Amino acid sequence: MSTFVAIVVGVAAGGAMFDLWQDRLWLIGIIVMAIALIGTAVSFRIPRVRASAPGARIDFNPWRQIGLGLKRLRRDRVLSLTVAGISYFWFLGALLQLVIILFGTQVMHLNDRWVGVLTAFAAIGIGAGSMAAGRLSGDKVELGLAPIGSIGMGLFAIALAHSGGSFALAALNLTLVGFFGGLFAVPLNALLQQRSGDREKGRLMATNNFLNMIGILVASGALSLCTNVFGLPADRIIFIFGVLTLELLEGYGCTEMAPIVAVNVPDVNDRGEHQRGARRGTVGHPLPGVVAKIVDPATGEGPLFNIEGLLLVRGPNRMKGYLGDPESTSDVFRDGWYVTGDIATIDESGFITITDRLSRFSKIAGEMVPHMKIEQQIHSLLDEHYACVVTAVPDPAKGERLIAFYTDPSLAPHELWERLCLTELPRLWLPKREDLRIIDAIPTLGTGKVDLRAIRRLAMGQV
């Protein structure tokens, strides 16, 4: 975060110096050179640390290392989302930094010096937010601060857009935008360093910086598009910035239901009465007129509450059938209900939580065995940098046989099997020792999701 603070302070100081000495640019140049030399001298005071990979050679092709870093991110969903969040922060930060200059001159009619002073309030906020994030996190990575930071940035950016000509109000809102920006970014940067591992930390930090710079370039393009193409004023752009950082509400749907089934909505408070409209981790309540229920995947018995089962839905938005394909239509209809193929729960308040897909269950000796639960248990036994996936192949004795692939080369299959035997998983859910297999990487689709068909083909080819 010190980098971002330095950038904001530099912009503020640059505006002030130009306003003071615009007829003596040589003096500004000397000051900038002096600051650069001081920074270089101070950098030699940084303590030396032990090399994480002393045998590695210097690669003079930076693109190769960036490519390796991107491949590593694709294999780790948590890391990839973390870097995406950091890059998104730099995109929004750069956009706000640029548009504040326009906001100060066009909306508040400030000169360069006061625009610089206004920008400095963002640096104050970022510094305070970063310190607060460190204090609140203690000795762990507190990811719960990130959504709080996101919501805060959005709300106070919207408030900043409505500051009008009040310098004090604009400075206050900009400080709070920076404060919540610190809460958002610090946990993500800490998680990136913690999860990267000593051997790959340098490469992944460089890859993160590369993607951050892309975010800054995209911000410049977005500002040009907003001002030159759409002709938006600075306060409207800041308002859009605020909306972009607000938390989205999750919903659920499918094409066969045209296409929405359920959605979270904002909570309602009316005359002292409170009704909850959203619950984190769920897809919300069914739409008005839409009915949902959970049934046992094997027997069809239900409705079930607070128990995982197959999700069935019906309503006026349900399709009449697949055009020209009555056989497929009959397969997905059950007494007027549409069989979604999703495994879910419905709680006592009616919130639906999607937990899995029916296709990710195996029927072994008459029992439905969830692949995801096995994956979660295997992943807990692996080093955090590695991944796993479970699939199944036909078995003449029990119907199906579980195959588990994982990417940790340091953990032998027999060791993993022995550890699995000590977990709380039922014995029926455990893959055989010979069906625990090490692969270089989990196949993924272009969307980043696991390519389950490729995994199944791989399993079938090794049977």
DSSP structure string for 273-289: EEE----TTS--EEPTT
Average pLDDT of the residues in 188-197: 84
Among 10-24, 48-62, 79-93, 180-194, the least confident range: 48-62
| Listed ranges 63-67, 85-89, 266-270; the one with the highest mean pLDDT | 85-89
Q: What are the start and end residues of each CATH 2.30.38.10 domain in the chain?
A: 251-257+279-320+331-358
Per-residue CA distances from 2 to 125, 154, 309 (Å): 12, 22, 49
Is 169's pLDDT higher than 70?
yes
Phi, psi (rounded to 5 degrees) for 313:
-140, 155
Is 4's pLDDT higher than 60?
no
Bond preceding residue 303 cis, omega within 30 of 0: yes
Do residues 431 and 402 lie in contact, with contact meaning Cβ atoms separated by under 8 Å?
yes
Residue 195 pLDDT level (bands cut at 50, 70, 90): confident
Q: What is the pTM (predicted TM-score) of this model?
A: 0.52
**Looking at this protein, which amino acid is placed at residue 420?**
L
pLDDT tens digit sequence for 242-291 = 776 666 678 999 999 999 999 988 777 666 677 888 898 899 999 999 99
Quote the pLDDT of residue 402.
96
Q: Are strands 337-346 and 309-314 parallel, antiparallel or unpaired?
A: antiparallel
Task: Say which residues have a Cβ less than 8 Å from residue 5's Cβ, sequence separation at least 6.
Answer: 123, 126, 127, 130
pLDDT tens digit sequence for 376-419 = 999 999 987 889 999 999 999 899 999 999 999 999 999 999 99
Looking at every residue in the chain, the average pLDDT score rounds to 87
Give the span between the Cα atoms of 421 and 419, in whole angstroms. 5
Is 21's pLDDT higher than 70?
yes
Strand partners, 262: 252, 286
Average pLDDT of the residues in 223-241: 84
More confident residue, 6 or 438: 438
Specify the CATH number for 61-245; select among 3.40.920.10, 3.90.1150.10, 1.20.1250.20, 1.10.1200.10. Answer: 1.20.1250.20
Quote the pLDDT of residue 149.
85
Q: What is the CA radius of gyration of the chain?
A: 27
Q: What are the start and end residues of each CATH 3.30.300.30 domain in the chain?
A: 365-460
Question: How many C-alpha atoms does 280 have within 13 Å on its Cβ side?
Answer: 3
Name the helix (H) or strand (E) containing 70: helix 62-75
In three-state secondary structure terms, 354 is strand
What percent of the chain has a predicted confidence (pLDDT) above 70?
94
Residue 34 pLDDT level (bands cut at 50, 70, 90): very high
Do residues 178 and 160 lie in contact, with contact meaning Cβ atoms separated by under 8 Å?
no
What percent of the chain has a predicted confidence (pLDDT) above 90?
38
Quote the pLDDT of residue 282.
94
Is 1's pLDDT higher than 60?
no
Is 350's pLDDT higher than 90?
yes
User: How many degrees, rounded to 5, is the angle at CA 283 between CA 341 and CA 242?
Assistant: 140
Q: What are the start and end residues of each CATH 1.20.1250.20 domain in the chain?
A: 61-245
Nearest to 100 by CA among 28, 171, 21, 154: 171
Sheet of 388-395: strand order equals: 388-395, 399-406, 436-438
Burial class (CB in 10 A: 0-12, 13-18, 19+), 47: exposed
pLDDT tens digit sequence for 88-129 = 888 888 888 888 888 888 888 888 778 878 888 888 888 888
Quote the pLDDT of residue 429.
94
More confident residue, 462 or 78: 78
- Indicate the fold that domain 365-460 takes in CATH: GMP Synthetase; Chain A, domain 3 (3.30.300)
Give the span between the Cα atoms of 392 and 374, in whole angstroms. 12
CATH superfamily of 251-257+279-320+331-358: Luciferase; Domain 3 (2.30.38.10)
